[in-house]
Amino acid sequence: MSPHTFFRRMFVACALVFAFSTPTLIPGPQLMAQDTAPDSIQGVYTGVFHPGRPTSVSIQLRVDQDRDVLIDFLDKTGWYTGIRRTVKAGTSYVSAQLPLPDALRDLSSAYVSVKIIPVGGEWFQKIAEVNQPVRFVTLEPIRAALYYNYPLSTFSAPVGRGISNHDGVSVFVRQQNGRYEMGYLQSGYGQEQELILDLLSGDLNFRMKNSMGITDISTITAASIADDSQSKHVYVQHLQRMKGYFEHVESGRMADLSGDYPILREANSYLRQVLFTLEPLIYEKLETPVLQNPNGGPTMPPRPGKELAVKVHYEAGADRDLLLTVKAQGRVLSSQRFKAAAGEDTLVLPLVLPKDAPTVETEFSLALVPQSAGLEATLAQARIQANVLPLNSIDYVYVSEQVSSLTDLYMSVTYASVEPLDLRVDLYDASGQRLDRIQTPLEVTEVGSIYTMKFSQDYELASGRTYTLVFRLVPAGSTSENGFGDIVKFFRKRDVN
């Protein structure tokens, strides 16, 4: 047994006897008497810790005579390792490399303890002490099935959610050349960017080729970010960009539960956890949500009895719950609770509106709360308003505002239909006289559009006059004037100078 360990155990034994005895019978150890010299520790600075790798500890202090500085690494279960340094009177700064063990018992309670003691003295003769909690990066590989069993999709390929914001970017998680890695490749206009995260070492490899064919390659090791703040900043920026790409692909694959989506979710979750470990969040935030088609296809307006999703980006300093509430006319249509893991993430939250939901303006609100808490404990909130539309409806109409002749008139209609219907378009002149009518059958579909409608005659349009178009849904083949969902649009003849 080392002298260091012997004295530690002796002190613990003495402390236990003192705790369970009458204080007047057993005096405290004489060695505990504190030195009256004004020695002090002004600050202790540590980087991010990696189990099994040495890391630097910097100490700002004041000593008016020669002293020893003990730098120990501990957690609530006990002591692991330590360094002793003798410093001269007047020393104001000490830096040392502190070795860390491979096996740690309780990462959450780990800390560095810095003590000033007399030269040659023991740890319990401390004149000054500062305990500094530490943070760890544990970059471990994802489960093996993630690496090579699931080829991931590219943004430029069909991913079931329409046009991507990042065409030419592919994401991957793979086993290659004996390494487990994840990353992205972005290419276009003769340029390329590739970022690869080694899942065993945590090292980042970045390659960029410009349009001149000049390639720049750089590497940031996971070990370097503990002591180099600039390297850590760049490392985090790279991972945030990669996570953004994975999020975009994932949000478009939500409904494909038998394909890539579970793997994308796990990859994105892994990146979120690493980023949270590197830079824990201390604040709560919800960005304005958006409504989304849960299948990843074109965004559809909410309708009674239909599925939709709310997409939201959040930041949380600990594991939280997300409360999603849908209200209309003072009535709660839907209320659901979702898990929001600590860190920063984008979630797509599915929901189904009740079949009797009113077709009025509806509020979709989100609240970030502590786990199992209610709205009274809200930490952050966000909401969006949207009209719930009927199952049969004209959703949107675009019409040319000015035309030189009727043949130049362009009309585009987006609609939804759950039964056979016709779209009727009536053309009226400025006096209210109907000039012509178009009636065309519509496909039964949740998302439909038609933009090839033309009137049968090219009426002579009068300059300076306003013409009216009335768009209406009617039963299939109906000749009755009755209909529903009317939308009125206007256009004028373009004057030619």
Helix (H, G, I), strand (E, B) or coil at 213: coil
End-to-end CA distance of the chain, in Å?
Answer: 104
How many other C-beta atoms lie within 10 A of the C-beta of residue 464? 9
Residue 74: give its domain's CATH number: 2.60.40.10
Same domain, 260 and 322: no
Last residue of a domain, one of 371, 387, 403: 387
Domain membership of residue 488 as a residue range? 393-493
Q: Which of 45, 91, 48, 50 is nearest to 69 (CA)?
A: 91
Residues 445, 434: contact at Cβ < 8 Å? no
Residues 304, 416: contact at Cβ < 8 Å? no
In a domain, 3, yes or no: no
Helix (H, G, I), strand (E, B) or coil at 245: helix
Q: How far apart are CA 415 and CA 393, in angstroms?
A: 6
Same domain, 382 and 425: no
Quick one: tokens of 104? 């740690």
In a domain, 6, yes or no: no
Residues 400, 421: contact at Cβ < 8 Å? no
- Number of structural domains (the chain) is 4
Same domain, 383 and 398: no
In a domain, 29, yes or no: no
Same domain, 236 and 312: no
| Ordered per-residue pLDDT tens for the chain, 497 residues | 444 444 444 443 443 333 333 333 333 333 333 444 578 998 888 765 766 767 778 898 999 899 999 999 998 999 999 999 999 998 888 888 888 887 778 878 889 999 999 999 999 999 999 998 886 655 555 554 454 444 555 554 433 333 344 456 778 777 777 777 888 887 777 788 889 988 877 889 999 888 787 888 999 988 788 778 888 889 989 999 998 888 777 665 544 444 556 667 777 888 888 888 787 777 889 999 989 877 665 677 899 998 888 989 999 988 899 999 999 999 999 999 999 988 888 888 888 999 999 999 999 999 999 998 989 999 999 999 999 999 999 999 999 999 988 989 999 999 999 999 999 999 999 899 999 999 999 999 988 999 989 998 888 898 888 999 999 999 999 999 999 999 999 999 887 65
Same domain, 160 and 268: yes
Q: How far apart are CA 16 and CA 7, in angstroms?
A: 14
Same domain, 104 and 126: yes
Last residue of a domain, one of 258, 278, 298: 278
Same domain, 331 and 422: no
Same domain, 197 and 256: yes
Same domain, 289 and 272: no
Which are the contacts of 330, defined by CB distance < 8 A and separation ≥ 6? none
Q: Give Cα separations from 275 to 3, 231, 241 (angstroms).
A: 42, 14, 11
Same domain, 306 and 196: no
Residues 131, 59: contact at Cβ < 8 Å? no
In a domain, 10, yes or no: no
Q: To 10 degrees, what angle do helices 229-252 and 261-278 make?
A: 160
